Structure 1
């Protein structure tokens, strides 16, 4: 292949060339025949100031560009290098407009040749990469990246990335390349002729393609044949022999931790003696290996499988990618581990093939098709959690995932996962699938009696969501749009097309279905509009978001009567639609002589999904269970029908007692936050463990918090309970700014509400002195928690504002985090309908909802927030709590007593900062 690629990277004063932002550095690297053949780089004087955050990100100061040439002086050289070349950049839509603007200002012609975006190419070729940032891809592909955010270094790395991505492209099977070529005209990069060249090369040297199987026009990775034969059973491989040996592990850089060995012994004891156990494992203990090692020995010795359940995908991946390979080095026998999740986590190959043949209306769809084509040549599991796809593409997930109709397929990833689980010692799953298995009439997991529940403090919350209902107008509308009308491109039209092709007749049924679908859309529109009005009239909303708790049997008035009538009509229309759909289905079953694969029958699964939504809607508005809380959520400024209905059970202790702890021999629950003031009583009562007398042990962290951490409580901030929210936000912004200017490091600021977060972020931006550090605020900047965390890691002086999901799971060791600020104690908001209903239930039983419910929940959350601060034995940092109730309220001691032994300082903020500076 003889193409010439010019790889470009720019550093600029900002993001908008049309508003006067200019290039301050340009790097160019020329690639020909798979080799770098030329380079060019230069600083440019932008003739304007460089903002502080740009100087911080790029390490390019005003002095470095002061005597540099203007872009116009070097523009001819740039144009000359770009002749007869592909323009390549890591995000072409940023670099190319800047370059075009500068070329025009220099009076030179703009670039009109082909372009390649290495972000897009990486998304296709590496569909499972965690991140497509240049630094992260460089790390993944072992490319050295010395000076990130300097144009010459970034261009060099992008050029090496391009060569690696093209190599990966060449290794794909011919059939996949041909499918990609067919899709390539709809991509942003000009890949058509490139792919054509690779295909010609491949056809000229076409050899056997051993690692793939070919099925209906696509290539899949050939499953690796797992040898069922174990090593001969080693009778000496016992946990007691392992534990009696030296208390060290055969791992590089392993440091012995007494707490880890204590936990191993406890876990093994619980499994071997059929006891339930609660183990709080302090940060840095090495909790995963502390339960994996005894589980592996127990499963091997007793030939009884152990199930391990986690809450987050992050922990599941850590177990698979980091801990299981370590475990295999430690245990002296062959260990089989499998992952099993819900059916909808796995791709349906037949549904994907139908999807591939459909028109591609949007860019997201084209990119998703390309990613899936490549991924199928790499995956053995078909688990869609492996993929990194855009939020737009996620809308198509449900129509591509496996369902009950996939049993006949030759390639069924869910059945393969089930088979692997049957043959394993250890099965890893998640809390939601575990709950599904506990209530399912036919078991989903292979039989087991022993299990470990990690991140156990989430179990009740996951169960509340799992057993609750959630129906919103948007999801119903999306489903109805997906089904569409007879003359549109939805699943109804596709079914009609199939009937026409086969000469099957059911015109009257189709007309009836279309009319019923139109009625349903109209009635749902009316219903959600009415519900929004009903909620807003009854509940004043403070933050623009209204949450109105309702009980169907207690609601009344003309509006509620109208709600009930609409609900009744919707149920009637749905029953008729299901009846007509069954007629169509019976025609298919009777007439169909070919396999199901020959046509698109997604209409039937769409109607089934719609029926489930409507049943949930009916249940939410009509059923009467005092142990279930129901509420309506509406945005005050949202669309007239942008409304959602929710329900959750209030109490789940009996469910856990009867369905989990009574039927399983040993359940070990572990987490870093299970106790409140050295007591497990709260978690024991919430999970229904009181009658089981579980083994309870809190194993402290190996860190020396006295030397590594301080808690600081400023006395000169206003009291939150007697101050207007805007005034309090300004005081918080002022305090956070002072801390940031003093420490010049990185801080995480934890909020309990988006409203206060946004007000504080706005107040901080008003203050010019705060320009020295970068502010990243959840909900203000778009992106997931993981994405915002990665952005935060790029800067030396940065502040990250976060709510809910930042209180735990964020792991920023060493210099990546020096200060954590808790703005207010994490009590649930007063309008939280679930907490309100649970409180009433406690009160009705003669209890005190504050001390039995609100306070314990807040203390556990507080511990999680504190846990962000110290992640390794070398970390050092301070926790600032800006809520004075920590020391002024009688319950403040519960929060402080739940922390490890640590210095607590209370003083004015200025004096605290002097102490902090001396201490750090």
Structure 2
């Protein structure tokens, strides 16, 4: 691509040029004929102070700007370079808005040039990357990035990234480039001239590109046909292999006694047709510990073995790290396949059809471009490979695979075929449950199963068998139906939809009002309801309105027959959703708990209704454990006080007498970790929530000065998190620490974790998803704080219903449910601190109940051997300094 590109990066005093933020450094790199021909960088005097946060982020302080030129001295150099060139930046709007403001301030015309945003271009051409931060992309492309957040270094790396992206664009097949040319008009980057150049070059070339197949105008990566590999040599048993290899560690492998112990247990369970529970501590390497005996067993028995995980992160680890290692270890070849629910896969037919529609918003156009590029790379068509925007996820619902298909190009069909010939099949808990209960199984017949992250199985099943309806989704479906009715010129249907819109909005408003009158709360209201026990004028009115709506929905169903199958999809989804809503409000079932969730300060019809089964033990016993020869459940957190009783009870394993083994972590916790409990925090039974939050914030900052930040703070309540973060922000007036908080700072757990690792002195406040699954090894995390012991709130509808169920059976809800749940959660939280054998860290627990309550010993005993100190904070801090 032979254009001229000026790649610019700026460091600034903040994010808002209109509010007086200024440039402190500029760097630019000029590219001509795909070669860097010029570099320039300079500090710039901003004529104002640099905030401490910016100094920490960039490493640029005011002494470095002493004697630096002002922007008006640099402006002519920059203007000359930009004239007639592409303006390129990583997040182009940020840099361009600053330059516009500066050019305007000194009275110069703003240069006119096409723009390219390398964030947008990278998202489009590298659609499967987890992060598009410049440092992460530099690492991925093996580009040296000496000084992140300094303009000259950032501009250099952005230029290298641009060259990579231009090469990638030029390498795409002709049909993909032609489709991109149509849809790229809506993007922020000016790509049309570049695409025209690439298309013209491809059209001149007579070479056939054999890397791709074509389907309905789409270029697809060529697929290999799956086949089951047969062994030509006798296969040793795992025990023979185990005996031979134990004394001779092989390449790329670190011998761990606990891992070999777990292998023996897994192998025995498989060969003796027993179910097994194995708690494997952090650092055991449990994935390989079950994969090795599993692949020997599957190969020897000539039938597949299924492995189910909960998180996408573990699934990726298995595919990208553990299975390739397994292939190097075992003395034979094997095949592995991934199979998930149909909606995880792209429907090529539906996607090809959307490419003819041009009335698109930005998100739709951009997602189409991403998918067009992705189809040239993907072998699976699985959405979990993609990094989609929120708008992209909405568009995916229009093009995901649904219903039966016998098209050999259908990605779900391909995945099923691959699973039919695989030795190991990897799936997730939700699809595993779906397949167990489906009329027609997608997984091939299997008798052995490994469930990793098994502590999530009951929760996933409760969600799978549960129901949920919220107004936002109903409204989304209504909007889509209205658009289709207009397209088909169906006046009668549009009139009926207008009535439905009004009545549905009114119904959700009435449900919200009913919940708020029944349960008062300043934060989120969760009102548990039982349809046949509810009463009053409000309840009767909403029941009456539901019955009236049912009649309107039946009328709508008769009209759907006049619309073609694909346009009818949102109508069917709406009918199904309304059927669920009606069932939630008008039917009764003692085995189910129902509740309404409402934000008191939310919109008047913003409400979600839920239902979940109370006890799934019988389902697991009858549908899973009775039907399989060997189910191996493993996790780092399955026991309380050395006992598997809780998980055995919840999963209905009592009558199966499973093998049960605890394999402790190989880490030296007594040398690697400390536990400290400050004795001078107020009790929540005495102090108000605000007073408690302020006291927590003060202690957090005191500790942070000693640990230099690098602190993860875990909360059980979002309300307490927000309050504590607010107080900490006020107390952090010198901005010594970068404060990040879930739900406040923006971004999901993965994004917040990455941002946290960017700063030397940072504190990360998290709840829910931060208690497990995040991985911050090494010096990036040296202090973990658990603010409250992680008991579920007693008024939680599900806990309340389960407690009643346990009580009715003569059990003790606290010791049979609340305490085991809290202890397992506590163990998961502690597991964030020490991730490798070289990590060192301190855990603070701010909840003195661990030391004073009769049940506190269960939390202490759940931890590995570790030194514990309970003293006022001012006595703990010198100990901390000495230890660090």
Question: TM-score scaled by structure 2?
Answer: 0.98
CA offsets per residue over residues 194-227 of structure 1, 9 Å max, x none?
Answer: 111111112122310111111222211111244x
CA offsets per residue over residues 55-77 of structure 1, 9 Å max, x none?
Answer: 11111122211232222222211
1:491–1:602 Cα contact (<8 Å) kept: no
Partners of 2:253 and 2:216 lie apart in 1 by 49
Partners of 2:846 and 2:22 lie apart in 1 by 41
Task: Tell me the residue number matched to 1:438.
Answer: 436
Task: Tell me the residue number matched to 1:108.
Answer: 108
1:248–1:254 Cα contact (<8 Å) kept: no
1:745–1:815 Cα contact (<8 Å) kept: no
Task: Tell me the residue number matched to 2:540.
Answer: 561
2:173–2:209 Cα contact (<8 Å) kept: yes
2:628 aligned residue (664, 667, 677): 664
| Counterpart mapping for 1:373-392 below 5 A | 373-392=372-391
Partners of 1:580 and 1:414 lie apart in 2 by 31
Distance 1:768 1:308, change over 3 A: closer
1:346–1:384 Cα contact (<8 Å) kept: yes
Task: Tell me the residue number matched to 1:429.
Answer: 427
CA offsets per residue over residues 617-676 of structure 1, 9 Å max, x none?
Answer: 111112211111100111111111111100111101011000000001100000000000
1:680 aligned residue (644, 656, 678): 644
Measure how far apart 1:443 and its partner are.
1.4
2:570 pairs with 1:606: yes
2:184–2:366 Cα contact (<8 Å) kept: no
2:606 pairs with 1:642: yes
Task: Tell me the residue number matched to 2:503.
Answer: 523
1:468–1:649 Cα contact (<8 Å) kept: yes
Partners of 1:216 and 1:645 lie apart in 2 by 42
| Counterpart mapping for 1:214-253 below 5 A | 214-226=214-226, 228=227, 230=229, 232-247=231-246
Measure how far apart 1:250 and its partner are.
6.4
1:870 aligned residue (826, 831, 834): 834
Q: Structure 2 stretches of 5 or more lacking a match?
A: none
| Counterpart mapping for 1:77-116 below 5 A | 77-116=77-116
Provide the secondary structure at the position in 1 that maps to 2:245. coil
Task: Tell me the residue number matched to 1:595.
Answer: none
Partners of 1:71 and 1:450 lie apart in 2 by 69
Distance 1:425 1:52, change over 3 A: same
Provide the secondary structure at the position in 2 that maps to 1:121. helix
Partners of 2:462 and 2:566 lie apart in 1 by 31
2:256 pairs with 1:257: yes
2:380–2:415 Cα contact (<8 Å) kept: yes
Task: Tell me the residue number matched to 1:918.
Answer: 882
Measure how far apart 1:733 and its partner are.
0.5
CA offsets per residue over residues 226-281 of structure 1, 9 Å max, x none?
Answer: 4x363533314321121002327866553211000000111111111110000000
Measure how far apart 1:910 and its partner are.
1.5
2:265 pairs with 1:272: no
Partners of 2:75 and 2:570 lie apart in 1 by 57
Question: What is the aligned-residue RMSD (CA, Å)?
Answer: 1.4
Measure how far apart 1:141 and its partner are.
1.9
Task: Tell me the residue number matched to 1:463.
Answer: 461
2:173–2:219 Cα contact (<8 Å) kept: yes
1:764–1:770 Cα contact (<8 Å) kept: no
2:753 pairs with 1:789: yes
Task: Tell me the residue number matched to 1:591.
Answer: none
Measure how far apart 1:836 and its partner are.
0.9
| Counterpart mapping for 1:558-597 below 5 A | 558-582=537-561, 584=562
Provide the secondary structure at the position in 1 that maps to 2:468. strand
1:751–1:823 Cα contact (<8 Å) kept: yes
CA offsets per residue over residues 501-555 of structure 1, 9 Å max, x none?
Answer: xxxxxxxxx4443333333222211111110000000101132x11111000100
2:185 pairs with 1:185: yes
2:468–2:610 Cα contact (<8 Å) kept: yes
Partners of 1:254 and 1:327 lie apart in 2 by 10
Paired positions, count: 884
1:28–1:39 Cα contact (<8 Å) kept: yes
Partners of 1:140 and 1:480 lie apart in 2 by 43
Q: Which moved more, 1:623-632 or 1:417-426?
A: 623-632
2:12–2:25 Cα contact (<8 Å) kept: yes
Partners of 2:128 and 2:486 lie apart in 1 by 34
2:706 pairs with 1:707: no
Task: Tell me the residue number matched to 2:471.
Answer: 473
Partners of 1:663 and 1:408 lie apart in 2 by 29
2:828 pairs with 1:830: no
Q: Which moved more, 1:208-217 or 1:792-801?
A: 208-217
CA offsets per residue over residues 370-428 of structure 1, 9 Å max, x none?
Answer: 001111111111111111110122112221111115x1545210011000000000100
Provide the secondary structure at the position in 1 that maps to 2:154. helix
Question: TM-score scaled by structure 1?
Answer: 0.94
Provide the secondary structure at the position in 2 that maps to 1:526. helix
Q: Structure 1 stretches of 5 or more lacking a match?
A: 485-489, 498-509, 589-600
Provide the secondary structure at the position in 2 that maps to 1:721. coil
CA offsets per residue over residues 472-523 of structure 1, 9 Å max, x none?
Answer: 1110110111111xxxxx23344x28xxxxxxxxxxxx44433333332222
Task: Tell me the residue number matched to 2:452.
Answer: 454
